[in-house]
Amino acid sequence: MSSRPVFKIVCPKRVVTGGPEAMHQLGAALIAAGHRAEMVYWPIARENQTPDKFKPYGVPVSTELPDRPEVVVVLPEVNTKRVWAFKRARVLIWWLSVDQHFWAQQPTKWTRRAKQWLRTRLPSQREYAFQPKANLQHAWQSEYARRFLVERGVAAPLALTDYIAPTLVPEEAEIAVDGRQDLVLFNPLKGKAFTEQLRAACADAPWQFVPLQGYTPAELRALFGRAKVYIDFGEHPGRDRIPREAAACGCVVVTGRRGSAANPVDVPLDERYKVDESAPDAVARVRALLQAVVADWRPHFDAQAAMRAGIRRQPALFQGEAAALGRHFDPAARDTDLAATP
């Protein structure tokens, strides 16, 4: 049997959010770099198929997850307890977010007593809490996750970010700058409480708040291309996609300071575009900022050019990270150091 590694990327079944897209991006990038990679949709079932949205990445599907030395199992942070199922295979936990890890551990249909009973009798049901494990490594998608891992004693987490599909990222010269409408876009699933306070305080404002729901990808890109502002006061559990998609199409982005938005690496905005939503004057400050941007949008658009340029560089950066990841796990090319540098 060949000693070359085969990457088994464990992906939640029938989920088409940003995390699963990043996992398909990883599979495609590994294959492009000459490695073998397969998607394993979890829970495993014979009818597992790639969601239509991710079929263009062209990553083959497997229903096998063998515990063999040549296998590299890539687990998302929401499925960390499966690390105990592997004694011979190498395991990589990819921290696509931080918060999702803890949300996934919250009891659902099982009571706390039932979950404790399972953990006692079934080692594979133990929660992962950074216990030492020889065949385990970690990768980070965001600076927020990298810091989280280092704080928990992971000495050299691996860099593995993601990117916005190039079809969603126009060149700078292609971004429409004329005829921008006084629209403030927001994700109704993010930062709902603060956003509702803000909307109430802006009831008499000359701009319109538009929730991002019910749009196709093409319609969403068109909306980003004509709106002036995108706001996001959510948790920012990782390097979120929608703020990047909005910014890439020319929206001026305004965020809170939770999660990944707190650092200048994941959300590289001037500090004036980040408002701590827990501050007593947060609503008033955001309203004043929106007033300034809507009244004179172009200078604020120009001020966020560096963020847009960084978004356009992300595909090439990710391809390099994925290729290095492949070499890292390949016995024939162990000279690549993937240790992250801040």
> Structural domain boundaries of the chain?
6-164+313-329, 171-303
pLDDT tens for 238-265 read: 999 999 999 999 999 999 999 999 999 9
Calpha distance 285→73 (Å, rounded): 46
Surface-to-core class of residue 197, CB atoms within 10 Å of its CB (0-12 exposed, 13-18 middle, 19+ buried): middle
pTM for this model (two decimals): 0.89
| DSSP-derived secondary structure for 134-145 | TTEEEEESSHHH
List, in order, residues 6 or more apart from 99 with CB less than 8 Å away: 235, 237, 259
Would you place residue 338 in the very low, low, confident or very high pLDDT band (cuts 50, 70, 90)? Answer: very low
What tokens appear for 145 in the block? 């996750």
One fold for 6-164+313-329 and 171-303: yes
**What is the chain's length?**
342
Report the run of H or E that residue 8 belongs to, with start and end.
Answer: strand 6-12
CATH architecture assignment, domain 6-164+313-329: 3-Layer(aba) Sandwich (3.40)
Surface-to-core class of residue 261, CB atoms within 10 Å of its CB (0-12 exposed, 13-18 middle, 19+ buried): buried
pLDDT tens for 16-40 read: 999 999 999 999 999 999 999 999 9
Helix (H, G, I), strand (E, B) or coil at 64: coil
Question: Is residue 1 over pLDDT 80?
Answer: no
Would you place residue 102 in the very low, low, confident or very high pLDDT band (cuts 50, 70, 90)? Answer: low
Vertex 109 angle, CA 103 and 115, to 5°: 75
8 neighbors 23 (Cβ within 8 angstroms): no
Vertex 152 angle, CA 149 and 154, to 5°: 60
Residue 333: what pLDDT?
60
Q: Once rounded to an integer, what is the mean pLDDT over residues 273-290?
A: 97
What is 171-303's CATH topology? Rossmann fold (3.40.50)
DSSP letter for 186, please. E
Question: Is residue 100 over pLDDT 80?
Answer: no
Question: Is residue 104 over pLDDT 80?
Answer: no
Q: Once rounded to an integer, what is the mean pLDDT over residues 150-162?
A: 95
Strands, E assignment, 43-103: 71-76, 90-95
Question: Is residue 235 over pLDDT 60?
Answer: yes
